[in-house]
Amino acid sequence: MSVDTLLSRLEGVRRTGQGRWIARCPGHDDRRASLSIRELDDGRTLVHCFAACAVEEVLGAAGLTFDALFPEKLLGDQKRERRPFNAHDVLACVSFESLIAATAASALSRGEALSDTDRERLTIAASRLSHAAEVASDR
């Protein structure tokens, strides 16, 4: 939905700037405009009642639900970004994989041969570090 749907259900609507309005809040007996409405550049709508009505109260009194605050394109077609790990955990993993690579490099610099198990683990570390770099460059 668009901000126009909400505005059409309010009384005493006045434009206060680009993408900004005030109106009487339908959530309580409002004699003066105490409801602030703002449309963001991406089409989302922000609503704030200065008399402390909750957003769900305002929307319910206007006969709307929360989806009225979001443009349809944000609700349906877009794939939600998944962030399964926080930054601290990712950096800890990258640090550990770097330690594996540094340990192998140190052994090789001393002329020691890596065992098959060590070579396999080094390959895993290189793959994980490479993947981390790819994911970081995509953001």
DSSP string, 25-70: -TTTT-SS--EEEEE-TTS-EEEEETT---HHHHHHHTT--GGGGS
**Judgement on whether residues 69 and 17 belong to the same structural domain of the protein:** yes
Asked if residue 81 is part of any domain, the answer here is: no
**Owning domain of residue 36:** 3-75
Quick one: 71 and 91 in the same domain? no
Examine the fold and report which residue of 54, 75, 96 is the final residue of a domain before the chain moves on: 75
pLDDT digits (tens, 9 = 90+) for 33-63: 999 999 998 889 999 999 999 999 999 999 9
**Looking at the 3D structure of the chain, how many domains does it have?**
2
- Quick one: tokens of 13? 């609507």
Average pLDDT over residues 64-91: 70
